[in-house]
Chain A
Amino acid sequence: MPRRDDISKILLIGAGPIVIGQACEFDYSGAQACKALREEGYEVVLVNSNPATIMTDPGFADRTYVEPLTEEALTAIIRRERPDALLPTMGGQTALNLAVRLEESGVLKRYQVELIGATADVIRRAEDRGLFKKAMAEIGLAVPRSGSAHSLEEARQVQAEIGAWPVILRPGFTLGGAGGGIARNAAEFEAICANGLALSPVGEVLIEESVLGWKEFEMEVMRDRKDNACIVCSIENLDPMGVHTGDSITVAPAQTLTDREYQALRDASLAVMRVIGVETGGANVQFAVNPSDGRLVVIEMNPRVSRSSALASKATGFPIAKIAAKLAIGYTLDELPNDITRSTPACFEPSLDYIVVKAPRFAFEKFQGSDDTLTTQMKSVGETMAIGRNFKQALQKALRSLEIGRAGLVRRADAEGQLADAELEKAVARPSPLRLFHLREALARGWEIDRVARLSGVDPWFLRQIAEIVAFEEEIAAAKTLAGLEADRALFAQTKEFGFSDKQLAVRLGVAEGEVRAARERIGLRPTFGVVDTCAAEFAAATPYFYSAYGDEPEAPLPPAEKKKIMILGGGPNRIGQGIEFDYCCVHACQALRKAGYETVMVNSNPETVSTDYDTSDRLYFEPVTLEDVLEVYRRERCDGAIVQFGGQTPLNLALELKAAGVNVIGTSPENIEKAEDREFFKQLADQVGVKQPANGTATDLAGALAVARRVGFPVLVRPSFVLGGRAMAIVYTEPFFEKFCAEAFAASEGRPVLIDKFLEDAVEVDVDCIADGEIEVIGAVMEHIEKAGIHSGDSACAIPPQGLDPALVDRIREHTQALARGLNVRGLMNVQYAVQDGEVYILEVNPRASRTVPFVSKATGVPLAGYAARVMAGESLKKIGFTQEVVLRHVAVKEAVLPFARFPGCDVRLTPEMKSTGEVMGMDPDPGMAFVKSQQAAGNPLPGEGGVFISVSGERPSDRVEMVKFAKELVEMGYGIWATCGTATLLRESGVPARAAFAISEGRPHVLDLVLDGAVGWIVNVPSGCQPQLDEVKMRTEAVRRGIPMTTTIRGLRAALDGLKTLRRNAEFEVLSLQEYNRATARKGGRKS
């Protein structure tokens, strides 16, 4: 059946901001879907609030709406665009939920929009636990015994029916299992239930028999409208049931199933797909298998593309999202070609002749106080995937890709090595980010595999692999020296087959990594590169998608290069501070350079990204972004240059070593990138440019640091050098706290100096992105922060163009920026951060590289900054490219951060100089206030239009109190009721503002939490006090985050909110505009001379 001709315009919903459980894998799938649909001649209308996505690049859809993913905005877009169909399966849970709401509210029917890919019934059957259970019973498949509850009372009954502890709790319709957990007793049960009921948008919690410790498997299934179906990939979780699959180390294909057992899973997956009714597209089915008798139960199914389907696509070469999109518009699997072989059809099941290991990356260090036990609620912020010829290679590659200070399955004497046996026993039994290393330690101490398996629930097959890696270290030790290893080529080769990195060997043998590399090269021991070909070499592959392996004979030689080759280094696993924004830059570099006639070579290890899609670059290497792995690719490909400044800190950290090893690092020189962190040089540069710096100094020890702090005076900003995302950065107000924060900064700095700046209070922060080619410097955009200085720029809302700054001052900032670019001899991108205090401009930081704000600036202005920068680095001039002037906007774009605090109970909800947000959204509107309101809606914190507002402003800054009175007055005029702490309420009443007093939590009741519980208060304005959070404030903010109540923490934020709310009231209807329309308006207006 060919494509459907009865539809022509298709609406696609993206997944919105990056949050835990829903990350850039949906950009990857959405971008693929957009391409697939347009390729077929459909008109594509795309909605996504996330500006850092590739899919929202204006070229990917006919109309791109960067608008909040709310029913209101979607209705406005549907009304305006009148699409024939809505494809809801590409944007994760967000898109599915939204599609169901639009269907239930009758919008889809009214505007005659057909749901394709998954109908509302299918979504409900898959998501509603009761319906799902019924469907499974119909096809004779077991599910864990369970029941759903809508109240605590009902929940207790269900638990009593199951009749055993522990039980698993899952709130209905939440992302990545948010609010779920394992209850081992009644107390835990009540707590998790209450939280889950609150978090579930439908107020439902599923209570389930525990299958803790069972083996967990996932199957990725495709089905077309003729009922042809195939399994794309099987995935086995190394961590047993009880750990969310997103937090598990997973392996593809499944390793411990006989054919009989595997086929039972396959049959069950297809039956689930059919009974749920997914007619076209992909789905993911999760199973638990009892390791002692093989009893099989179905856990859940997702009738959409998912994180696992992105992983499966990267692991097999089968582009699930692309094919799913084509199936949704009428094709059948046999009509579509397999992209990789091009000679065989997509209707087949990929066969792997390698092993894939995915490992999650966590960020608990950013959320102190939270428990790092892994549960059914996902907590990881990123992942890395590695491909090896065997499991050991894949595992060790995955671990070194994680960048957690371990070059493989390495023991740390100062961590797990310190644990007494009894502690280790507990650590082995408790799933945590470091459990794999605890398993390793236990096996190294000679614990029997069976004992470790019993404690951990990890299959003995995996434990044996780990034990063999550990045991093999003795073998390496037998070589005694590097010379010994070099003399025994067979042993050296075997070492590499076991996945040991040069760095691991260097540490073992007490030499430098470079020496190991040199020895390896002397005996010609080099990796060979396998092709990810979907078919285990049965057919020739047309797509160059590679991985390295050892112990193999070389595959077909490289085709002769016809063009210049540029290597682009990606950022590895996502983490807070280094995520999709940098991948966006890498993808743009690939696109722009390919268009400009270069051949591009991509190296990255992140399976979620667009950069690791096989058709983003000319040649894709799915490899760890480490010196050893990158060098081997560079040499094999004989690249002409490498771009290190787009992938974030990961490739930047390699820049000098790559250069020393002969790599031609193009763009701003690594030395100058490094120099920008050098305080002495920076001071000279600032003086030369004529811009002030806050008083500052550097120190290499605690005493020195304290001396600097005393000299510049408290409060001070303490930060390590060479980190991204403000790791271990803090504002310290008084000496007693200084030592603690400073110690953390020294730890994060890893031997490099710690920087101490005078902290500028009540300052406005300004970010500038700029591009330079050695001749001219062009400003990308000037961004004004809405939060005060002192909050990490990644966590701060900001606006383009600046809303509250004097134009002359903004011009001064532009000039400083250009002078800095000249001073640093920038070839490519540069980001500068300033603080403005009392009309005075201070420079805080210069980074001559791609910044997190590049995609936001590009979306707001329509200028593809990263692509231009890549061409500049390859030698083109900005004049030739045609970008010589800053663009002037007629609209306003506001970026807002999205924070993951709800995932980390126990951690203080607080914005600091250390970045904590996982993602961002953009609100765009011709009206500044409305742009802010849209950004808040998009971030999931819509401001209430009425009701009670609780105000608490600390007494430390009198200016805050004055402004607060002004705003409280406006709130009352708009009809809000004001609640405040006793002191604040008195002050307000004295100023003529009616306000009711509530106790602070520690003072008595009713206090603010009671008001929140009663529903009297739906918005909290809490401007926190200085350094150490007061207990009350922590409790209040925690509760607000838990209940999803919007909270404003700065006076500036409050002002923006009020402006926006007023606009919202003025406008009768929610208005939307597409990026293409904004860009057209911008282009007509023309640029300002920069």
Chain B
Amino acid sequence: MSGASGNWAARREKKAFLALADGTVIRGWSCGAAADRLGEVVFNTGMTGYEEILTDPSYAGQLVALTMPEIGNTGFNREDHESAAIHASGLIVREMNPPSNWRSEETLEAALVRWNVPALAGVDTRSLTLKLREGGTQKAYLCATGALSPEEAVAKARAWEGLDGQDYASKVSAPKAYDWTGDLLADAPLVAVIDYGIKFNTLRLLEREGFRVRVLNAHAKAVDVLALKPAGVMLSNGPADPAALPYAAEMIRGLLGKVPIMGICLGHQLLGLALGGRTCRLKFGHHGCNHPVKDLRASTVEITSQNHNYMVAADSLDPAVAEITHVSLNDGTVEGLEAKKYPAFSLQYHPEAAPGPHDAVPAFKRFRRLMGRA
């Protein structure tokens, strides 16, 4: 037989499993690293972009279940990385396939093994999604080794502290500041990016807008940021709970009114906090590439890429301080806001896409205009 090797007997045994905190055990076969991981299970409904999802630092601490059933089809390549590593704690799929794509450099399985990230295949991700939709996001233990009993795994999932109140941004942030752009843009206006879990595509798009880009650690102080004399500050996306980053909101308050600010995802939530708002958890989050967002001022709709478990509560914002500019057409939640008294705006969704539609890319032009550089 021509390469259609079947370790089907092994797959039938379904030795690997996912144990949810509610006691549910879902069996499958291991198709990544032989390792076990704790994490929060979320589902993502995007039909493309598993590579971008896995390498997005925002997924740190999460076990990602993909609703698209055939995965691995396009392999893994360096070009499509959104950071230098796989950050998701684990992957859960229906089918794991070897790739067929001219840009593929290695199989997804091999990449997972290389990054020591476990993955579970053969899972009915639709019924897992239904469970999460009904019961909300859950803590879980992905046991790819089969070394633990299901009961032990469930106990571990329950005992885990979870993501609420956790500062994951510090874990994924660049330890030292670095310049993203090269000498070619040495004289261009600078955008300082606060790295809470930055994706490469945000940096690429800033560069494409003609900015010099310097990436700073999440704990950078406002004075140090301002000392760089940036034309603008980008608050990046990132993992886990914004409420666990009081230092970040504090820093942002130090920037407000002094430099134009744009925030994305976690950066948006942090701006909301800095403007006196409150953040809270969504039942099962927004994770996918097909979320319609209405621009309330232009009255147009963008199809957006989203990935967040927390949001800025609409009723927590003082209209005199912050205007809600964008809402989700699916559930009406806040998707964008703009400070009334300062040059600052933020988006809950991902204008940098990767993965997802490019409808919101013009947000980077808006940032440029905000800096008076239209």
Taking beta carbons and an 8 Å cutoff, which residues of A are in contact with B?
Answer: 226-228, 230-231, 234, 253, 255-263, 266-267, 291-294, 332-334, 344-345, 347-355, 389-391, 443, 446-449, 452, 459-461, 464, 467-468, 470-472, 474-475, 490-491, 494, 530, 535-540, 551-553, 555-556
Contacts and interface: CB of A to CB of B under 8 A. Distances in A.
Contact of A537 (B46, B94, B126, B300): B126
Given A351-B288, A446-B2, A553-B127, A255 B73 contact: yes
6 contacts: A259-B355, A260-B354, A261-B103, A390-B70, A448-B3, A555-B130
Nearest to B14: A490
A261 to B, nearest CB: 8
Contacts of A294: 102-103
A536 B126 contact: yes
A534 to B, nearest CB: 9
Given A256-B101, A530-B126, A351 B80 contact: no
Given A266-B358, A494-B8, A537-B67, A259 B301 contact: no
B1 interface: yes
Contacts of B2: 443, 446-449, 452, 467
B301 A334 contact: yes
A535 B74 CA distance: 23
B323 interface: no
Contact of B100 (A460, A467, A540): A460
A727 B130 CA distance: 48
A452 B1 CA distance: 13
Top-4 shortest CB links A-B: A259-B49, A467-B4, A259-B355, A461-B100
B289 to A, nearest CB: 7
Interface stretch (B145-153, B168-176, B233-241, B291-299): B291-299
A259 B48 contact: yes
B208 to A, nearest CB: 15
B133 interface: yes
B45 interface: yes
A446 B2 CA distance: 5
A347 B292 contact: yes
Given A259-B289, A448-B3, A490-B12, 17 more contacts: A259-B46, A267-B358, A291-B102, A334-B301, A344-B292, A345-B292, A345-B330, A348-B292, A348-B303, A389-B69, A390-B94, A452-B2, A471-B1, A494-B8, A494-B11, A530-B126, A538-B67
Contacts of B4: 443, 449, 464, 467-468, 470-471
Interface in B1-40: 1-6, 8-9, 11-14
Nearest to A460: B100
Contact of A333 (B3, B126, B301): B301
B98 interface: yes
Contacts of A351: 45-47, 67-68, 288-290
A490 B11 CA distance: 10
Contacts of B110: none
Nearest to A349: B290
A478 B189 CA distance: 69
Nearest to B49: A259
Given A266-B357, A349-B289, A471 B101 contact: no
B292 A334 contact: yes
Nearest to A253: B47
Contact of A259 (B69, B292, B329, B354): B354
A423 to B, nearest CB: 19
A344 B100 contact: no
B325 interface: no
Interface residues of B, number: 64
B45 A536 contact: yes
B124 interface: yes
B353 interface: yes
Question: Interface centre among B4, B127, B288, by most A CB within 10 Å?
Answer: B4
Nearest to A393: B69
Interface in B40-58: 43, 45-49, 51-52
Interface string B93-106: 01101111111000
Question: Interface centre among B13, B77, B98, B290, by most A CB within 10 Å?
Answer: B290
Interface string B303-331: 10000000000000000000000000110
A255 B288 CA distance: 17
A538 B74 CA distance: 25
Contacts of B294: 334
Contacts of B8: 472, 475, 494
A537 B133 contact: yes
Contacts of A292: 102
Interface in B103-160: 103, 122, 124-127, 129-130, 133
Contacts of B11: 494
Contact of B356 (A261, A263, A334, A446): A263
Question: Interface centre among B2, B46, B127, B355, by most A CB within 10 Å?
Answer: B2
A258 B129 contact: no
A348 B102 contact: no
Contact of A255 (B51, B70, B358): B70
Given A256-B74, A390-B95, A539-B330, A467 B124 contact: no
Contacts of B122: 551
Nearest to B353: A263
Contacts of B99: 461
A536 B43 CA distance: 10
A1066 to B, nearest CB: 58
Contacts of B357: 231, 263, 266, 349
Contact of A352 (B68, B97, B356): B68
Contact of A461 (B52, B73, B288, B289): B73
B145 to A, nearest CB: 20
Contact of A258 (B80, B94, B299): B80
Question: Interface centre among B13, B97, B358, by most A CB within 10 Å?
Answer: B97
B330 A344 contact: yes
A814 to B, nearest CB: 56
A513 B97 CA distance: 32
Contacts of A349: 289-290, 303, 357
Contacts of A334: 292, 294, 301, 329
Contacts of B80: 258-260
Contacts of A470: 1, 4
Given A256-B73, A471-B1, A537-B133, A353 B51 contact: no
A228 B301 contact: yes
Contacts of A390: 69-70, 94-95
Contact of B290 (A293, A348, A355, A391): A348
Contacts of B329: 334, 344-345, 347-348
Contact of A355 (B5, B14, B49, B69): B69
Nearest to A550: B124
Contact of A471 (B6, B48, B126, B290): B6
A231 B357 CA distance: 10
Contacts of B95: 390-391
A448 B356 CA distance: 35
B330 A537 contact: no
B48 A258 contact: yes
Nearest to B77: A258
A253 B45 CA distance: 13
A42 to B, nearest CB: 25
A779 to B, nearest CB: 52
Contacts of B125: 353
A355 B14 CA distance: 23
A135 to B, nearest CB: 21
Contacts of A291: 102
Contacts of B52: 259
Contacts of B67: 351, 353, 536-538
Interface in B244-303: 288-292, 294, 299-301, 303
Nearest to A494: B12
Contacts of B6: 468, 471-472, 475
Question: Interface centre among A452, A464, A552, by most B CB within 10 Å?
Answer: A464
Contacts of B356: 259, 263
